[in-house]
Chains A and B, each alone.
Chain A
Amino acid sequence: MFKLNKNYLAGALAGVMVAGMAMGAVAAEIRIGITMRMISENGQKYGQMMMDEFDMINKAGGINGNMIKATLMNDECKSDKGVANSIKLINQKQVHLLIGSSCSSVTLPIVDITAKAGVPHLVPHSTNAKITKKGSAWVFRVPVSGRYYAGVNAKYVGENVGKKIAYLCAADAASQNDCEAMQKQMKAQHGADPAYVAQVQEKEVDFRTHMQKIKTAGVDGIMIAALAETMARALIQSYEAGIPASVRRIGSSSASNSPVPTIAGAAAKGVFFAAAYAAADTRPVARLFNEMVKQRYGIHAPDHDFSQAYDLVRIAEIALNNANLTLDSASLAADRTSIRDAIANIENYNGLASGPISFCADATPQCRDGNRTAVLIAYTKGGKNYVTEVLARVTMPADFGL
């Protein structure tokens, strides 16, 4: 039998203690996984802002003394990558909370994954109504659902623009949803059938044939439901085709994104859309936020994806502070459940969003579509230094559009 050396024993004990402390430190982390569209400059900045905000929470002492460890992954707005990221974040990183994604087509399959794994899931940007209609008890949407946007848009269009509307609908899930919901609402509210409908590729570049047909149809307005860059191209080509400014251009929710006025330039003037935040908002909190985004990220006027990312971090912070967290290796499932319940208890959160955000326990769209207030915004000037104005602010009933 070998003789124990005191020095070795002391060393071994110290090693065990250090390892134990390290394990304890890992267990005391609140792990948050984020999967977002990071392929555009703005997309990268939304993600960066979330990471910066979580970092600031840590610098201020964390959540009840526990540090947040956020992992940010890029899904490139591709469903397969979003699913792979989520599985990795849930199973390998063992996150307590999942945030994602920017694109509805990515968020939709992630909802099934978080529901199966029992992970609270905060949706930062996706608007497709089906996300909360799936009935998952784990999903919470911070942005305004497409069903509310459509109601607000249709009311304004029917009363102020006309009933003869052409629709160009891109193939991505959010645009499809916005387009379908708007047609449904125009029919329900005003009895108006579409004057022209065409589905286009997600990254369509040539709209001239459509624009010529729309011009011939003599419509009152054109709804362009597409991701920002595609929408900008369509707007430019609508003017090139000779469709006058008196035919109003209606944007889907992504019209709020800065590439639309930046790329479309003068063609963005007059375009209106429903969104969850207006850079023209005069509240002091909005002025401060605009200034912060401008200074930190160089964005002239933040769109609603910035405000929603910011609000989401604040909502996560409130929920984590209120949750009863044990944060050891055996309590992962209980911690996740506790965070979910804490999010469900958030009521009348007043942040940057167009209206208060409230959730509740039922796994229904009425409970999980947190923001029901859409603000109708119009561009009064396009280009890099674009300017917006607020046309209206409308709060919809919780079961609207269901």
Chain B
Amino acid sequence: MEFDFSSFFAFILFGVTIGVVYGIVALGISLIYSGLDIVHFAHGELYMFGAFIGLFFSQTMGFPYPVALVLAMLCAGVLGMGIERVFYRRLTKSGGGYTVAGMGMIICGFGMSIVLMNVAFLIWGAAAEPFPVDLGMPYQIGDIALPKSYALTAVVSVFLMITLHYFLKKTKAGLAVRAVAANKDIASLMGINVSRMISLIFGLACGLAAAAGVLIGPLQSVQVEMGYLMLLKAFAAAVVGGFGSLPGAIAGGIIVGITENLGAAYISPSHKDIYAFLLLILVLMFKPSGLFGVVARVKA
């Protein structure tokens, strides 16, 4: 097939729109990693919970889509804080600090993932649910029809990133979060309530995951098993961008999204999921700290 520039542009566009969603979930994973030095394996399920909560507010309660998005973020944020407070904090306290060395937290995350999936199954059942949002006719860019839901996903994702960046860089609470991420003991000595900040980090991360779920809902429908693949892609994004790096998470998401779309378009469409993970392996082999990460250092 001869090279078609219009299609190439479309593949890039598709990659960016799905990539920013990977990026938002990766952002949450990176935030939690920054705060607790752990990889949160139940994050995909919070993304799924967010999607279902958004669906509930949008379809059952009849709220406008943007309102449903905000409410889903708030609910998932509260849920995340609750999970951290009730389950994870007990583990970190038992370790005598704020983080847990070893496998305890990782195994707990896996367990939480299965628990949340089964709770969702009990509440919403196994069937996929459509998430219809009527945003009108697609934008026509040359030969490319860009549905407004894709454009909205990109715009909201960028807005969320800017807001998070502003929060972390320009507010007192953001400064406290960054202090906790850098060194919890010193942050504590400075009078920062570290436990509360960790709860806040969890809430923010889970709110972001919910936003991604609500944004992806109209594109792909909503179902209980939707979190698993998204988690893997978000991990790939976080690693490619540099684990713990917030701008890196977004950049990693976009790179992963574009790579898998171009791979599917020009190498083999039948192995779309391979490209993201091949990229992940290559980055780990040649630049383990990720494209935007800093060389790993010992943290408190």
Residues of A within 8 A of B (CB): 39-43, 198-201, 203-206, 208-210, 212-213, 216, 229, 232-233, 237, 240-242, 259, 262-265
B95 CB to closest chain A CB, in angstroms? 37
Known contacts A41-B126, A206-B18; is-contact A198 B270 (Cβ 8 Å): yes
B208 CB to closest chain A CB, in angstroms? 19
Q: Which residues of A lie under 8 Å from residue B10 when comparing CB positions?
A: 208, 212
Known contacts A213-B265, A242-B138, A242-B145; is-contact A232 B128 (Cβ 8 Å): yes
- In the complex, the chain B residue whose C-beta lies closest to that of A243 is B145
Could you tell me if A240 and B138 are in contact, using CB atoms closer than 8 angstroms?
yes
Could you tell me if B126 and A263 are in contact, using CB atoms closer than 8 angstroms?
no
B127 at the interface (CB under 8 A from A): yes
**Complex alpha-carbon distance, A240 and B225, angstroms:** 24
Q: Which residues of B lie under 8 Å from residue A209 when comparing CB positions?
A: 11, 14, 261, 264-265, 269, 272
Could you tell me if A216 and B126 are in contact, using CB atoms closer than 8 angstroms?
no
**Complex alpha-carbon distance, A41 and B130, angstroms:** 15
Could you tell me if B14 and A233 are in contact, using CB atoms closer than 8 angstroms?
no
B147 at the interface (CB under 8 A from A): yes
Could you tell me if B7 and A240 are in contact, using CB atoms closer than 8 angstroms?
no
Could you tell me if A229 and B223 are in contact, using CB atoms closer than 8 angstroms?
yes
Residues of B within 8 A of A (CB): 1, 4, 7, 10-11, 14, 18, 125-130, 132, 138, 143-145, 147, 150, 219-221, 223, 225-226, 229, 261, 264-265, 269-270, 272-273
Could you tell me if B130 and A263 are in contact, using CB atoms closer than 8 angstroms?
yes
Could you tell me if A240 and B145 are in contact, using CB atoms closer than 8 angstroms?
yes
Q: Which residues of A lie under 8 Å from residue B145 when comparing CB positions?
A: 240-242
Q: Which residues of A lie under 8 Å from residue B144 when comparing CB positions?
A: 212, 242
A191 CB to closest chain B CB, in angstroms? 22
**Complex alpha-carbon distance, A366 and B226, angstroms:** 41
- In the complex, the chain B residue whose C-beta lies closest to that of A208 is B14
- In the complex, the chain A residue whose C-beta lies closest to that of B147 is A240
Q: Which residues of A lie under 8 Å from residue B219 when comparing CB positions?
A: 205-206, 237
- In the complex, the chain A residue whose C-beta lies closest to that of B269 is A198
Q: Which residues of A lie under 8 Å from residue B127 when comparing CB positions?
A: 40-42, 229, 259
Q: Which residues of A lie under 8 Å from residue B272 when comparing CB positions?
A: 200-201, 204, 206, 209
Task: List 8 A-B pairs, minimum CB-CB distance, nearest first.
Answer: A242-B145, A199-B270, A198-B269, A229-B128, A205-B220, A39-B126, A209-B264, A263-B130
- In the complex, the chain B residue whose C-beta lies closest to that of A264 is B130
Question: What would 30 A/B residue contacts be, using CB atoms closer than 8 Å?
Answer: A39-B126, A40-B126, A43-B126, A198-B269, A198-B270, A200-B269, A200-B270, A200-B272, A201-B272, A204-B272, A205-B220, A205-B226, A205-B229, A206-B14, A206-B272, A208-B14, A209-B11, A209-B264, A209-B265, A209-B272, A212-B10, A213-B1, A216-B4, A229-B223, A233-B221, A237-B219, A240-B145, A259-B127, A259-B128, A265-B130
A10 CB to closest chain B CB, in angstroms? 52
**Complex alpha-carbon distance, A39 and B118, angstroms:** 12
A371 CB to closest chain B CB, in angstroms? 27
Could you tell me if B221 and A232 are in contact, using CB atoms closer than 8 angstroms?
yes
Q: Which residues of A lie under 8 Å from residue B265 when comparing CB positions?
A: 209, 212-213
Could you tell me if A213 and B7 are in contact, using CB atoms closer than 8 angstroms?
yes
A24 CB to closest chain B CB, in angstroms? 41
**Complex alpha-carbon distance, A229 and B221, angstroms:** 9
Q: Which residues of B lie under 8 Å from residue A42 when comparing CB positions?
A: 127
**Complex alpha-carbon distance, A242 and B14, angstroms:** 14
Q: Beyond A40-B127, A203-B229, A237-B219, list 11 extra A-B contacts (CB 8 Å).
A: A201-B272, A205-B219, A206-B220, A208-B14, A209-B269, A212-B7, A212-B10, A212-B14, A240-B150, A259-B128, A263-B128
**Complex alpha-carbon distance, A41 and B125, angstroms:** 7
Could you tell me if A233 and B138 are in contact, using CB atoms closer than 8 angstroms?
no
**Complex alpha-carbon distance, A41 and B124, angstroms:** 10
- In the complex, the chain A residue whose C-beta lies closest to that of B126 is A39
**Complex alpha-carbon distance, A198 and B269, angstroms:** 6
**Complex alpha-carbon distance, A232 and B220, angstroms:** 9
**Complex alpha-carbon distance, A240 and B143, angstroms:** 13
Q: Which residues of B lie under 8 Å from residue A203 when comparing CB positions?
A: 225, 229
**Complex alpha-carbon distance, A201 and B127, angstroms:** 18
Q: Which residues of A lie under 8 Å from residue B138 when comparing CB positions?
A: 240, 242
Among B7, B128, B132, point to the contact of A216 (Cβ < 8 A).
B7
- In the complex, the chain B residue whose C-beta lies closest to that of A199 is B270
Could you tell me if B220 and A262 are in contact, using CB atoms closer than 8 angstroms?
no
B170 CB to closest chain A CB, in angstroms? 35
- In the complex, the chain B residue whose C-beta lies closest to that of A42 is B127
**Complex alpha-carbon distance, A43 and B129, angstroms:** 15
A359 CB to closest chain B CB, in angstroms? 33
B201 CB to closest chain A CB, in angstroms? 29
